[in-house]
Amino acid sequence: MRYISTRGQAPALNFEDVLLAGLASDGGLYVPENLPRFTQEEIASWAGLPYHELAFRVMRPFVSGSIADAEFKQILEETYAVFDHSAVAPLRQLQGNEWVLELFHGPTLAFKDFALQLLGRLLDHFLIKRGERAVIMGATSGDTGSAAIEGCRRCDNVDIFIMHPHNRVSEVQRRQMTTILGDNIHNIAIEGNFDDCQEMIKASFADQDFLKGTRLVAVNSINWARIMAQIVYYFYAALQLGGPARSIAFSVPTGNFGDIFAGYLARNMGLPISQLIVATNRNDILHRFMSGNRYDKDTLHPSLSPSMDIMVSSNFERLLFDLHGRNGLALAQLMDSFKTSGKLSVSDERWTEARKLFDSLAVDDAQTCATIAEVYKDCGELLDPHTAIGVHAARECRRNLATPMVVLGTAHPVKFPEAVEKAGVGQAPALPPHLSDLFQRDERCTVLANDLKAVQQFVSQHGNRGKPL
């Protein structure tokens, strides 16, 4: 499998090189040159497979030529063995034909574990093979950080630096990052917002002199391996509900467009998906595009669903690439214009094409709390605020009641006690046993100014098991 950049000027790479590169050298994002496509008969034959075996079938074409089947199978088995539910991604019914796909049974209680437990193991595999070390830099609005740290903490050849916006993540989210201690784990709280953190990552990829020759790797959803891993659970959910003989609709809480882009790819790979709903909070750049063809930067508003408090959705570029006929030059010009003006729209024809599959809704905090309360009253299920946004959007935007609607349950409600308490459903749930002492654990974190040079200097001074590079 070869991968190309959305901006058309970077060399085509194999899976191993794409994993280690993260961002393309021309500032674009890597996508498969040709997407694999499965027949209905092939998909149907996967019904009843354990999660790790289905993952092998779905992902194998993406890694071909870079890792042997037996090694890949073993990595996948180890990856999903650490989840605390034997189904890995169980479905929970809320009402008639509406389901939540629970993606929070991994070590850090969020959907990011599906990709980042795999990413850590793949990185270790390839770095050991090459005899190399790497520095990982990541930005998080809440869940990516802890999942990345948990996925990479045992990697001998990696130092990981995770930046989060200071005082803008929940206490549980922060402690899940800052209480994992190790010579190769570095938490940085930036005095800014998530987008500031994300911009620093992109700037660091553009100019890596501060790393003195050490390889820089991305763990954010700009890394193709993240998207690849997320495709699998769309197939898994559909197979539980009668797919591929019937089509399925999905509602996806999303800020960065990575998780829902995986659903778009699953559909293009042959899975019958009739509708994808972009569920956002009041930081609604994606909804503004899907509803009115305006992808314009706006002020960032803190919310009860902080993982979606994002002004610009990095992965949206991958969809724009397809909408522009995979013309890298056209997309590079579009993204340059967006960088300058903060405004973007596409031709009516391209926007109409996107609307055939996508619907969207922006859900405010009051509606989020009302949905948490309603679902709890109706069926006793407690939702985290991001999943609640997905449920509300599903109910408002649903095109066909006969089509099963699956809402992606992106995090465990224990991570967001403020939202649960505001919803008025009683006490916030208890932490699971492996995190029961989370509030007693020692924390380690460095607060830095919103300054690229200060961050790069910190990485340079601590990037070799805590010592200078």
Residues with active-site annotation: 112
**Using DSSP, how many helices (H) and how many strands (E) does the chain show?**
18, 13
Cβ–Cβ < 8 Å for 466, 181: no
**How far, in Å, are 82, 173, 253, 284, 397 from residue 360 at the CA level?**
34, 27, 10, 9, 7
**Distance between CA atoms of 100 and 130, rounded to whole angstroms?**
41
Rg (CA), the chain: 21
| Peptide bond between residue 244 and the one before it cis (omega within 30 degrees of 0) | yes
Cβ–Cβ < 8 Å for 201, 138: yes
**Distance between CA atoms of 395 and 363, rounded to whole angstroms?**
12
Q: How many CA atoms lie within 13 A of 433 on its CB side?
A: 1
Question: Which residue reads 């869940």 in tokens?
Answer: 143
Other Cβ atoms closer than 10 A to 46:
16
405-409 sheet: strands from edge to edge: 91-95, 98-102, 405-409, 248-253, 273-280, 358-362
User: Rounded to the nearest 5°, which phi and psi values hold at 216?
Assistant: -105, 130
Q: Which two tokens stand for residue 423?
A: 């919803």
Question: Which residue reads 């998530």 in tokens?
Answer: 194
**How far, in Å, are 14, 55, 77, 208 from residue 72 at the CA level?**
16, 10, 9, 31
In the three-class reduction of DSSP (H, G, I as helix; E, B as strand; rest coil), residue 283 is classed as: coil
Residue 216, strand partner residues: 135
User: Rounded to the nearest 5°, which phi and psi values hold at 38?
Assistant: -105, 145
